[in-house]
Amino acid sequence: MMNHKVSVIIPTYNRTFYLAETLNSVLLQTYKDIELIVVDDGSSDNTEETIKNTSQEIRYFYQENQGVSAARNKGVLNSQGDFISFLDSDDLWKKRKLEKQMDFFRMNKEAKICYTDEIWIRKGRRANQMKKHIKYSGDIFERSLPLCIISASSVMIKREVFNKIGLFDESLQVCEDYDLWLRISKEFPVCFLDEKLIIKRGGHHDQLSKKYWGMDRFRISALEKLLSNGGLTPKQRDAVLRELERKCRIFADGCFKRGKIEEGKRYAGIPLEYVLNPKFEILNSKQYLNPKS
């Protein structure tokens, strides 16, 4: 029988100034069959004390600093629910977030993953999402190639998805969610619940997107992995190659402008490694060798 418990996994690292409010947004959920897991990725502040002062219901795990992917993976591996939800330690949930997603799964029993719309707060003020951040439902694989359109804090995923797809790639310091959503959307429809059920708080100094330069380096690695691992349909493979060429061209141009000639040459040559590899059986490789867009 299906276990309707939702395992809520919060990775955190030195985020005491946000954490208590984030935890409370879970504890106040109208859906109550949950287990709340916090994975402390080597914090040096009073994270553990904050958790103990918030609720005894929280399962707390500590690990030496290994990154957000390892923290989320540890949470999944120690969870018990058949449904998994993630929440970043600087984000918040509306009270009915879990309830509405569980209602969706009850009415759509074949669905494997559901995500929601979101409210953006940047430096304390509400911000508008741009056109490129529009959400989609169904076969969103190609829509997900340019950038990550799914917020990790918005998803609810059936455990069986991880059994097939695997967990977060711990070799990626950032864009690990971009990588996972591509691996999932390659195999399954992704359902969008068109309600703003999470609050994403950004613009602060410790965001991972500010820690690492050249974010597309990591997205390029994710695209290369898709091509190398196989299992793509011809249509998916061509879409990945087009996006790989675009990202590599833009990144290489940036390297050349900054005088990083060798690095620019390396990135400019990456798409050719796949286009000219006979195992990919590209019928019209000229579009990748001489792109016009």
Q: Which of 128, 122, 133 is nearest to 201 (CA)?
A: 122
Burial class (CB in 10 A: 0-12, 13-18, 19+), 224: middle
Cα separation, 61 vs 71, whole angstroms: 9
- pLDDT tens digits, 129-184: 778 889 999 999 999 999 999 999 999 999 999 999 999 999 998 999 999 999 99
| Residue 282, pLDDT score | 42
Going 282 to 285 to 287 to 290, the CA torsion angle's sign is positive
**pLDDT of 206 over the 70 cut:** no
The torsion defined by the Cα of 213, 239, 168 and 64, in degrees rounded to 10, comes to: -20
Q: How far apart are CA 194 and CA 41, in angstroms?
A: 32
User: With the C-alpha atoms ordered 246, 250, 253, 255, is the resulting torsion angle positive or negative?
Assistant: negative
Helices (H), the chain: 16-27, 47-54, 68-77, 97-107, 159-165, 176-185, 208-211, 216-229, 234-257, 261-275, 286-289
Torsion angles phi and psi, residue 240, rounded to 5: -65, -45
Mean pLDDT of 94-98: 98
Residues in the chain: 293
Task: Return the CATH number of 6-211, one of 3.90.550.10, 3.40.50.1400, 3.40.50.300, 1.10.10.60.
Answer: 3.90.550.10
- Out of 54-58, 159-163, 164-168, 261-265, pick the least confident: 54-58
Domain extent listing, the chain: 6-211, 216-289
